Amino acid sequence: MQAIGSTIPPSLHELRSQVARLERATGRKALESVQLFGLPQIDRHLPGGGLSLGALHEVAGAGPDTEQAAVAALMVAGLVARMQGQVLWVTAQRDLFAPGLASVGLHPDRLLLSEAGKDVLLIMEEGLRHAGLAAVVGEVGGRLSLTASRRLQLAAEQSGVTAIALRRSRRHDDPIHAEPTAAVTRWRVQAIASPPPLAHAADTPGVGPPLWQLDLTRCRGGVPATWIVKACDAQGYLHLAADLADRPPASQQRLRIGGG
Amino acid sequence: MTFLHDGRRQIIAAVNASARGLGLHAGMPLAHARALIRELSVEPATLAQDASALAELAAWCLRFSPFTGADGPDGLWIDATGCTHLFGGEAQLLAHLVERLMGVGIAARAAIADTPGAAWAVARHAPDSLHVVPPGQTTDAIRLLSLAALRLPAELIEKLSRLGFDQIDQVIDAPRGPLTLRFGAELVRRLDQATGRLFEPLVPVLPPEIVAERLPFVEPISTAEAFVSVIATLARNVCEELERRSLGARQLDLVFERVDGSHQIIRVGAARPARDPRHLARMLDERIDQVDPGLGIDAMQLVVTLADPLNFTQGSASLLQDRPCDPDIAILVDRLVNRLGAGKVYRFAACESDVPERSVRRVAPLSPPTKASWPAGLPRPSRLLSPPQPIETLAMLPDQPPAMFIWRRVRHRIRRADGPERIQAEWWRNEREMRASRDYWQVEDQDGRRYWLYRSGDGVDPDTGDISWYLHGFF
């Protein structure tokens, strides 16, 4: 597991893991293992020092991208690309474009697709019961009820397979995405205006690396936060945006820069 | 000539050629026949012996195909899929079959068709005794036959004929709703089986090399829980037998023998040879709801219809991995395919084409890894619209990106754009693609969202495209 940053005293960490042990079901295989974002600022913010494996996480787009969840799909692909093993991606529509996912490091040989139509949750659970997978990504179109999400969470805990619910909706910023679920973390990711490709020559045509605003809107045992990051690179790693051309409004600026 | 007792009176069960020549036919009351012809020689019918002889004959037919079955009281099924070339073709197979039967004193009519239902109909009701229905012409072949060719109950045929329906032609294109409402589901079901809209499994005669396990019950069962426990027992026994023979099941048929003598069959397949009783039982359990137990099931039989060699493999016991890694995705794939159907579970693989929608193909989930990916460095979206959607744009020709575009009545002002990436059509495919090309742009709108747009044509030569713009994907 990831070493905790020196800002958190060891006793606090001990207490946290005790609470985590109490909270979580017994017999869990991968209690403490986490998937690193590879970004100390984010990893340090998350309880456990990274995205916990064998748990349910939610990722949604924002604004017009709530429908296509294109940025969210890229972020999830980058995340699972860095795990070991096969990934089951359960879809409801046929719009996933594999070359795009490959560009953030998710090789097509590792990606098992399953078109589930209305049975996305059912197929996700089926996949989560199979310990041979690295992760199960499900494109959840409608509501994700507390019961349904708890089933996924329990299945993920038992097998140690990470579950990611990629929330989509035809309605922009659908309020049902804010309803409570049993997910351990909930993320919202959206593209924001990117700086010019060459910082010293703002008039140069072309596009630079995309910028994403990554909101951790809910986190069990943690607090919400927002980061501005550069999109996944070819290995699926995020990078913190060093200099921002267009800073977000002050109300959104809860940028946490890791200390120490 | 033989006779049997139908409960009320003695009737003729079967006649030979000379009796038929005298106007006698099966189903006639025996007294009536005796009144017509004084010197009749009749024997009591022995139905049980007939059935066992027919089963023997079906087993004899295994020389033509690995999958044959008896169709009582007077028919045989042969699933000749993939076997006909051994005899030089379908017609030759039939001729050879009938000739061999003739040699042992059996007069036979034979037909070969796409579906069991159509073959049944044509064999018994077509004018010629040997008939090959060419693939895809099933409907035309049965169209002019009488309704009796659909294997309908006698009362239903009588009811239909009273209303003027005699030929399949009259019902085959009729609206199905009213047909079902008026005559019950049986008519439509048999029609569908004949035309191939409904899969009809055959009850096979089992050659000894096939692994099968049958469990008869003291009392008929009909609850799902009972089926589950029987399936567990059957699967365990079958897997033990498979293990003895170093085989793994690729396809399983579970036959439910109903009290009324009919059979219900569920079939599951495995992507790789499987011999884990829990896995096989679970796949069968998921299909139980498709079974109509009727008044009860008094025997169940589990048949391994396809098996492949499966040797023992040692499970990996790695000291380094703290997580028990089970790389066998096959079990999961089987379950998903079983639930969703084949074709719904797949992997993507790179295809050598520059046209985005042709650069991805689907391959079977367990096919060997291709190791190939798409060229790195080219911007490719994570979502692709299929088909591309037309947008309204303001753009300068020939090679400027649009300043804005309107999609779904929303105006997007373009802040940054990268392109064009020209993709030439594949001229070797057809005439229309001879000169066509697309210019792709990756654009970012005022909110930072990135889109993949293209203009059809190079902006100069009208032969390459009509300069209309499309939205093709989202980053």
Q: Domain spanning A36-190: which superfamily?
A: P-loop containing nucleotide triphosphate hydrolases (3.40.50.300)
Whether the CB-CB separation of A54 and A161 falls below 8 Å is answered with yes
* Closest chain A residue by Cα to residue B328: A132
Report whether A52 contacts A34 (CB < 8 A).
yes
Q: Which residues of A touch B335 (CB under 8 A)?
A: 126
Q: How far apart are CA A75 and CA A69, in angstroms?
A: 10
Give per-residue pLDDT as tens, B21-61: 888 888 788 888 888 887 888 888 888 888 888 888 888 88
Say whether B326 and A114 touch across the interface (CB within 8 A): no
Domains by residue range for chain B, with CATH:
2-44 (3.40.1170), 66-195 (no CATH), 212-309 (3.30.1490.100), 383-474 (no CATH)
Mean of the pLDDT values across residues B433-439? 87
B325 interaction partners in chain A (CB closer than 8 Å):
85, 131-132
Out of A63, A113, A191, closest to residue B347 by CB:
A113
Chain A residues touching B356 at Cβ < 8 A = 97, 99
pLDDT value of residue A152: 94
Q: Is A86 on the interface with B (CB under 8 A)?
A: yes
Instruction: Assess A9–B contact: CB distance below 8 Å, yes or no.
Output: no
- Yes or no, beta carbons of B416 and A122 under 8 Å apart: no
Cross-chain Cβ contact A210/B450 below 8 Å: yes
Of B359, B369, B383, the CB nearest to A73: B383
Please tell me the distance from the alpha carbon of residue B148 to that of residue B171, in angstroms, as a whole number.
Answer: 13
Is residue A82 pLDDT above 60, yes or no? yes
Specify whether the CB–CB gap between B403 and B392 falls below 8 A: no
Average pLDDT over residues B420-434: 85
Helix (H) or strand (E) holding A122: helix A120-128
Q: How far is A221 from chain B (nearest CA, A)?
A: 25
For an interface test with A, the pick among B383, B396, B443, B452 (most A C-beta atoms closer than 10 Å) comes out as B383
Query: Are residues B332 and A131, on separate chains, in Cβ contact within 8 Å?
Result: no
Nearest to A111 among B348, B356, B447 (CB): B348
Query: Residues 113 to 172 of A: which have CB under 8 A from any B CB?
Result: 113-117, 119, 122-123, 126-127, 130-133, 160
Average pLDDT of the segment spanning A87-97: 93
What pLDDT does B360 receive? Answer: 92
Residue of chain B whose alpha carbon sits nearest to that of A101: B382
A101 in contact with B at a CB cutoff of 8 Å? Answer: yes
Pair B118, B151: CB distance under 8 Å: no
Select, from the ranges B37-51, B55-69, B356-370, the one with the highest average predicted confidence (pLDDT): B356-370
- Among A31-45, A156-170, B23-37, B88-102, the range scoring the smallest mean pLDDT is A31-45
Size of the A and B interface in Cβ pairs below 8 Å: 175
- Whole-angstrom CA distances from B318 to A158, B324, B328 are 21, 8, 15
Q: Considering CB atoms only, which of A73, A114, A234 is closest to B336?
A: A114
Q: What is the pLDDT of residues B81-91, one digit of tens each?
A: 888 888 888 88
Contact B340 A65 (CB under 8 A): no
> What is the reported pLDDT for B314?
52
Residue of A nearest to B450 (CA): A191
All residues of chain B having their beta carbon less than 8 Å from the beta carbon of residue A103 are 374, 376, 379-380
Whether pLDDT at B312 is above 70: no
The verdict on A77 touching B (C-beta cutoff 8 Å) is yes
Task: Name the residue of chain B whose CA is nearest to A96's CA.
Answer: B383
DSSP string, A26-94: TT-S-SS-EE--S-HHHHHHSTTSSEESSSEEEEE--TTHHHH-HHHHHHHHHHHHTSSSEEEEEESSS
Mutation choice for A interface testing from B282, B449, B450, B471 by most A CBs within 10 A: B449
Measure the CA angle with vertex A216, ends A211 and A222; round to 5°.
145
Give domain limits for chain A. 36-190
Mean pLDDT of A207-228: 90
Q: How far apart (Å, rounded) are the C-alpha atoms in residues B328 and A86? A: 10
Minimum CA–CA partner of A114 in chain B: B345
The kind and range of the H/E element at B114 are none
> Tens digit of pLDDT for each residue in B222-270?
898 999 999 999 999 999 988 888 888 888 989 898 888 788 888 888 8
CA nearest to B370 within chain A: A109
Across chain B, mean pLDDT equals 85
Instruction: Name the amino acid, one letter, at B207.
Output: P
pLDDT score for B212:
85
Q: Do A132 and B329 touch (CB under 8 A)?
A: yes
Please give the average per-residue pLDDT across A217-246, as a whole number.
Answer: 82
Between A126, A191, A206, which is nearest B418 by CB? A206
- Look at residue B318 and tell me whether its pLDDT is greater than 60: no
Write out residues 23-42 of A within 8 Å (CB-CB) of B.
Answer: 29-30, 33
* ipTM at complex level: 0.82
The confidence score (pLDDT) of residue A251 equals: 44
Tens digit of each residue's pLDDT (9 = 90 or more) over A152-163: 999 999 988 999
Integer Cα distance of B25 and A116 in angstroms: 56
- pLDDT for B460 equals 81
Query: Exposure pattern of B45-68 as b/e (b: 16+ CB <10 Å)?
Result: beeeebeeebbebbbebbebbbbb
Chain B residue with minimal CA distance to A193?
A: B448
Torsion sign (Cα): B101, B105, B111, B117? negative
| pLDDT tops 80 at residue B475 | yes
Our CA-based measurement puts residue A260 at a distance from the nearest CA of chain B, in whole angstroms, of: 32
3-class secondary-structure state, position B254: strand
What's the angle, vertex CA B311, arms to CA B309 and CA B314, rounded to 5? 155
DSSP 8-state class, residue A5:
P
| Chain B neighbors of A126, CB-CB under 8 A | 332, 335-336, 339
Min mean pLDDT across A57-71, A101-115, B261-275 is at B261-275
What does the pLDDT average to over A221-242?
Answer: 87
Work out the average pLDDT over A156-175: 91
